[in-house]
Amino acid sequence: MSLSLVANSYLDENSSKIRAKPVPWEGYQRAGLVTSEELALIKKVDRQPKAKTESILLSDGQTYALLYLRLLKKLQRVDTMQCILVLIADALTDHDERIPLFTRAAESDPDLPYGALLHAVSNTDDFVQLKASQILTVLLSSEQAPLQSQQLQPFLTTLASFVQGQVPNKRDVAVQCLEAILPRAEVRKAVWAIPGIISGLIQILKNKPGPQMSYQVGFCFWLLSFEQEIAEQLNKKYDVIPLFVDVAQGAVKEKVIRVFVATFKNLIIKAPAANLPAMLVAELLPFANNLSSRKWSDEDIPEDVQFIRDELKSRFESLSTWDEYSSELASGHLSWTPVHESDMFWKENAVKLNDKDHADLKQLIKLLQDSQDPTVLAVAAHDLGQYVKHYERGKKLVTDFGAKTRVMELMSHGNPDVRYQALVSVQRLVSHPWQSV
């Protein structure tokens, strides 16, 4: 794993400035914070020409790896920490063979290298945080043994704050760090356990970033989709499929389309039942048909698109009208498709909302209670009215599940269509059939 895979202009520019700054190493020795041996070693490389430093590291790399990490552990001044981190990064740049010199530091001190670097990641200085994150990523991604929770959790918690924050450099570095460490299965599982990272990545996509960031975030989701549990739960928990389709449809760069197409393929392979219905509702099939007619430089894209088309087409052809409705309901994206307004459909199918312990009815009510989308609210209120119109005993269930109160609230909603559909639904909920008089 090369240090250059986590690249950022802010880090590059500030690293150049930090290399030129003097550090009071003699003062640290007088204060008893640095030994005379450590001072002699550091003076050999401090602000020296690159060729000289490279020669020293070639012959004495392990000594300097331990020196840098020990100094980082015990010296707390921000400018000094900045300098040490730059020295570590410079030693690693274009020299992947030196990575084990740092990871082996644990043999001399179990708190190294990760304890010192994790402490730096929690510093309040932006440069220290980001440079330590860059170095940590290189070391963690290169470890031969599975990573331990104490190595991962503090770092991932910091990355979660970066991706959710408003500082562009922090978001940029955090996404690159995730790209680099998510190929490891233990990292994928650990990331999935931190909702802030997932929601932060989703928010980045919703803010319509440039092609490079869209690709990088998509790459993170592609890596995550290799885990069975994540493939099964990702759309259910975060409603990502419509967003992924939207990003892919709006993409101009081939690599952005490629990474989302590959993600769709993974989600279908790993968890077809959980994802195909939502893909149909999000109209991935017509989009895939459109993609199949284009010319691509990447030969994997046509193959993946064909796979997606075949799976969606097969699913679409086997769907009954009720299956289509149930899929739409499960996706959470209700719209005025023909089934909603067909009185014959409701006459034949209203009772099916009661199947499997009223699962679909509960989902309809959940959308009514949780959605902020006026179209979803209007359609859900309409459907609830159709349910009680064609299934008289449904009125008690709707009341027991708390939906009657919610529909009455929607009669004063800001959207006129929501108000109208809620009014019609309430009228049906409170009406009495002639036969009961």
Identity of the amino acid at 154: P
> How far is the CA of 401 from the CAs of 43, 366, 373, 405, 421, in angstroms?
74, 10, 21, 9, 19
- DSSP conformation class of 105: G
**Is pLDDT above 80 for 3?**
no
**Is-contact 116 22, C-beta < 8 A?**
no
Predicted local confidence at residue 2, as pLDDT: 65
Both tokens assigned to 177: 């760090």
* DSSP three-state, residue 47: coil
Question: What are the helix and strand counts (H, E) for the chain?
Answer: 26, 0
Least confident of 204-213, 269-278, 368-377, 428-437: 428-437
Flag whether pLDDT at 359 surpasses 90: yes
Q: Which residue has the tokens 């009720």?
A: 322
The CA distance from 411 to 422, in Å, is 5
What is 338-436's CATH number? 1.25.40.150
| Helix pair angle (272-281, 254-270), 10° resolution | 130
pLDDT at 66: 96
Q: What is the pTM assigned to this prediction?
A: 0.82
Residue identified by tokens 């895979």 is 5
pLDDT cut 90: percent of the chain above it: 82
Phi/psi region, residue 340 (left: phi>0; alpha: psi -120 to 50; beta: rest), is: alpha
Q: Which residues fall within 8 angstroms of residue 408, CB to CB, at 6 or more apart?
A: 422, 426
Is the link from the previous residue into 113 a cis peptide, with omega within 30 of 0? yes
Mean pLDDT of 312-331: 84
Locate 31 and state its tokens: 């204060």
DSSP state of 377: H
**% of the chain with per-residue pLDDT over 70:** 98
Distance of CA 54 to the CA centre of its chain: 39
Task: Name residue, tokens 């290799």.
Answer: 226
Neighbour-count burial of 302, counting CB atoms closer than 10 A to its CB (0-12 exposed, 13-18 middle, 19+ buried): middle
In this prediction, residue 84 carries a pLDDT of: 97
Taking only the tens place, the pLDDT of each residue in 24-74 is: 999 999 999 999 999 999 999 988 888 999 999 999 999 999 999 999 999
Going by C-alpha positions, the residue among 47, 48, 44 that lies closest to residue 67 is 44
Does 435 or 3 have the greater pLDDT score? 3
Q: For the segment 372-384, what is each residue's pLDDT rounded down to a tens digit?
A: 999 999 999 999 9
Mean of per-residue pLDDT scores for the chain: 93
Q: b/e for 155-166, b at 16 or more Cβ within 10 A? A: bbebbbebbbee
Distance between CA atoms of residues 62 and 100, nearest Å:
9
* Domain ranges across the chain: 1-144, 338-436
3-class secondary-structure state, position 81: helix
**Residue 12, burial from CB neighbour count under 10 angstroms (0-12, 13-18, 19+):** exposed
pLDDT bucket at 330, cuts 50 / 70 / 90: confident
In whole angstroms, give the CA distance from residue 399 to residue 379: 19
Do 328 and 360 meet the contact criterion of CB atoms below 8 Å apart? no
Q: How confident is the model at residue 436 (pLDDT cuts 50, 70, 90)?
A: very low
CA 248, chain centre distance (Å): 16
* 3-state helix/strand/coil string of 221-287: HHHHCCCHHHHHHHHHHHCCHHHHHHHHHHCCCHHHHHHHHHHHHHHHHHCHHHHHHHHHHCCHHHH
DSSP 97: G
Mean pLDDT across the stretch 93-104? 94
Q: Say yes or no to pLDDT of 132 above 50.
A: yes
- CA-CA distance, 38 to 31, in Å (whole number)? 13
What is the rounded average pLDDT of the residues 167-173? Answer: 96
Place of tokens 């299956």: 323
